[in-house]
């Protein structure tokens, strides 16, 4: 094998700067979705987290001071999505900004009649194509959240979705996956879900997922890792596509516990 600078550098970082044991164990205890991972998978995740923290800059906003445990907790959530992919999926941007709690999103959009609107709304996370991810620490701290809710996984799912343009619920699929099967599974599930939300039926996942196909993909990704069994039960075709895309089977992990 030929010598490769990137591999050599990564090896050096992992040898000398692996996330320390106490910080790593603290994050593992705190993050429910890590249960069921094998010791090998956890160690591999720790390595990806170490490299991720080397390439990303995590800064506090609104007076929030970022500590080492916070960095590891955020990174572990961001990296579960790429446990069986590669760090290259997060290559085209550097910055993560963290506010103490919800922050105000101030943006303009043009409606179908060409009228420009200006909106200000409090949000817990936001991600920009090839730009920063912005998070609320209150929502990203890994504890106290509603079951199935995970703002970090949500925003990083958008990041993966945005690798081929604007977020639209159609990320780049792996060779061997079928675009047609993906579209069929997601379109059908999304249409059914929107109808449930419109008629006021109780839903298994956050009704916010009905907002648009990009949000549907991001919310399902959260629940795929956080509460995989109901997703497999209620959205079996979508579950199968997500398992192929993330190259993970969290429902299997959970049912083995
Ligand atoms: Zn979203």
Average pLDDT score over the chain: 93
- pLDDT exceeds cutoff 70 at 251: yes
The pocket of ion ligand 1, defined by CB under 5 A, consists of: 215, 218
> Does one domain contain both 120 and 247?
no
Whole-angstrom distance, CA of residue 248 vs CA of residue 232: 13
Residue 194 has pLDDT above 80, yes or no: yes
Q: pTM of the entire structure? A: 0.93
- Residue 218 Cα to ligand 1 middle (Å): 6
> Which two three-digit tokens encode residue 62?
């609104």
Determine the structural domain holding residue 198 and report its residue range: 168-257
pLDDT bracket for residue 2 (50, 70, 90): low
134 and 106 assigned to the same domain = yes
- What percent of the residues of the chain are helix, what percent strand, and what percent coil, each to the nearest 5? 55, 10, 35
Question: How many whole angstroms from 2 Cα to the centroid of ligand 1?
Answer: 42
Question: Ligand 1 centroid to 155 CA: how many Å?
Answer: 6
Return the CATH number at 237: 3.40.390.10
The Cα 66–Cα 98 span in angstroms is 8
pLDDT tens per residue across span 7-42: 888 889 888 899 999 999 999 999 999 989 999 999
Residue 80 alpha carbon to ligand 1 centre in Å: 18
Ligand 1 centroid distance, CA of 118 (Å): 19
Encode pLDDT of 69-113 as tens digits.
Answer: 999 999 999 999 999 999 999 998 999 999 999 988 887 778 888
Q: Do 39 and 149 have their domain in common?
A: yes
Same domain (yes/no): 58, 182: no
- Residue 31 belongs to domain with CATH number: 1.10.472.150
User: What tens digit of pLDDT does each residue of 204-250 get?
Assistant: 999 999 999 999 999 999 999 999 999 999 999 999 999 999 999 99
């Amino acid at each position: 094998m030929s010598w490769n600078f990137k591999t050599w550098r990564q090896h050096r970082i992992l040898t000398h700067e692996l996330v320390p044991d106490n910080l790593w164990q603290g994050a593992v205890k705190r993050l429910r979705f890590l249960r069921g991972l094998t010791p090998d998978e956890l160690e591999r995740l720790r390595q990806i987290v170490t490299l991720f923290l080397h390439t990303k800059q995590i800064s506090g906003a609104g007076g929030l001071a970022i500590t080492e445990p916070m960095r590891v907790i955020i990174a572990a959530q961001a990296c579960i999505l790429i446990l069986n992919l590669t760090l290259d999926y997060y290559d085209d941007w550097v910055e993560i900004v963290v506010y103490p709690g919800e922050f105000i999103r101030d943006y303009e959009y043009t409606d179908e009649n060409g009228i420009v609107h200006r909106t200000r709304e409090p949000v817990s996370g936001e991600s920009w194509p090839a730009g920063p991810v912005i998070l609320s620490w209150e929502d990203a701290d890994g504890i106290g959240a509603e079951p199935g809710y995970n703002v970090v996984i949500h925003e990083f799912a958008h990041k993966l979705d945005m690798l081929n343009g604007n977020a639209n619920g159609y990320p780049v699929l792996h060779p061997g996956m079928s675009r047609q099967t993906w579209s069929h599974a997601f379109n059908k599930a999304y249409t059914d879900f929107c109808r449930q939300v419109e008629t006021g039926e109780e839903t298994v996942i956050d009704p916010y997922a009905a907002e648009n196909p990009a949000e549907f993909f991001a919310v399902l990704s959260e629940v795929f890792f956080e509460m995989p069994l109901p997703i497999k039960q209620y959205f079996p075709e979508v579950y199968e596509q997500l398992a192929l895309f993330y190259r993970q089977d969290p429902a299997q992990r959970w049912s083995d516990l």
